[in-house]
Each structure stands twice: as C-alpha cells, then as structure tokens.
Amino acid sequence: MPACAQDVLLTQFYEAHHDWLQGWLRQRLGCGHDAADLSQDTFIQVVAARNVEQIAEPRAFLVTLAKRVMFNFWRRRDIERAYLEELALLPAECVPSEEDRALVLEALQQIDAILGGLKPRVREVFLLSQLHELGYKEIGERLGMPVITVRRYMTQALRACWLAAGTQ
C-alpha cells in the first residue's frame, strides 16, 4: 500500500478511536492529563505495530496496547517514587541536580526493563549477587541450587545487560 494511503488509514483510525481510548484510560487512571499522554503513546505503538487495515478488532487491540502502556507508566512512576524517597533521606548538600536526577531515573528505568526481561530465578540470582554481594556458593545455598546453576543464571543475566548496553 502506498505511504499516503497508509497515512489516510492511520488518520481515520485515530479519529475513529482516539476519544474512546482516552475516555477508557481516564476511567482507569483518574487523570485526564495522564490519559491524554498514554493515549498518544498507545497510538504511537499502533503506528509501529502493523498496518491498521489488518486490525480486525480495533478496540480490543487498543485495550491490549493501552494496558501495556499503563503497566509501563505505573512501573516508571513506582521507580521514580522510590528514588525520590531515597533522595529525601540524603543531606541537602548530597542531593543531585535536576539533570543528574533525570539521568539516574532514566538509568533506573533501563535497568528495570533489562531485569524485567529476565526469568524470575535469573533475576533473583543476579540481584543477590549484585545488591546483596553474595557469592555464588552462598546464593546456591540460599536458593537450594547447585553453584553451576547459579553460574549459568549469572551468565544469562550478564549477557542480557551486555546486550542492552550494546543497543544504547
């Protein structure tokens, strides 16, 4: 299909479903501003996902995308809230600048996305190693698994981090 015909279909799809989606999001979020932002994020995914003429059930498709967008929104908000709570505990002279805070939040969200892509056991092994500074033997004892499995899980986690760093 020519690009201009696809643009027309996207415009028609947007006009036909935008208000409905924004209302659906407003009911779930309780905030019109967040609903407007997330509806735009959802439609960006529509553009990236596939040709709109192939979408058999537009509202079901939009709800599926919007739920993912909301989940990511809530995760980002939770990360930001936890970070700000930790910052509040710092002495005033140690509080980073707004720019540094934004960079740290972005990095935390990227780390969360990487860890979220790991299997739960792999993530648990990685966090015990990196945050709690446990050795492989201690992790194996704590989780009831052989050291070779701990080593394999750490390799998987580190590979995921390495691959993510390569795409940045």
**Residues 15 and 76 grouped into a single domain:** yes
Q: 94-122: per-residue pLDDT in tens?
A: 888 899 989 988 888 888 888 888 999 99
**Residues 17 and 67 grouped into a single domain:** yes
**Residues 7 and 80 grouped into a single domain:** yes
Helices (H), the chain: 3-29, 32-49, 58-88, 98-116, 120-130, 136-143, 147-166
pLDDT of amino acid 145: 96
**Residues 7 and 75 grouped into a single domain:** yes
Nearest to 62 by CA among 32, 38, 31: 38
Instruction: Say which CATH number the domain at 139 has.
Output: 1.10.10.10
pTM: 0.67
Q: In which domain, by residue range, is 122 found?
A: 117-166
Nearest to 42 by CA among 11, 12, 66, 60: 66
Q: Predicted confidence band at 3 (pLDDT cuts at 50, 70, 90)?
A: low
> How many CB atoms neighbour CB 142 within 10 A?
14
Q: Predicted confidence band at 131 (pLDDT cuts at 50, 70, 90)?
A: confident
How many structural domains is the chain composed of?
A: 2
Joined tokens for residue 98: 């707004």
pLDDT of amino acid 113: 87
The SS3 of residue 12 is helix
**Residues 130 and 71 grouped into a single domain:** no
- Rounded to the nearest 5 degrees, what angle is found at the Cα of 33, between the Cα atoms of 29 and 36? 85
Q: Determine, yes or no, domain membership for 159.
A: yes
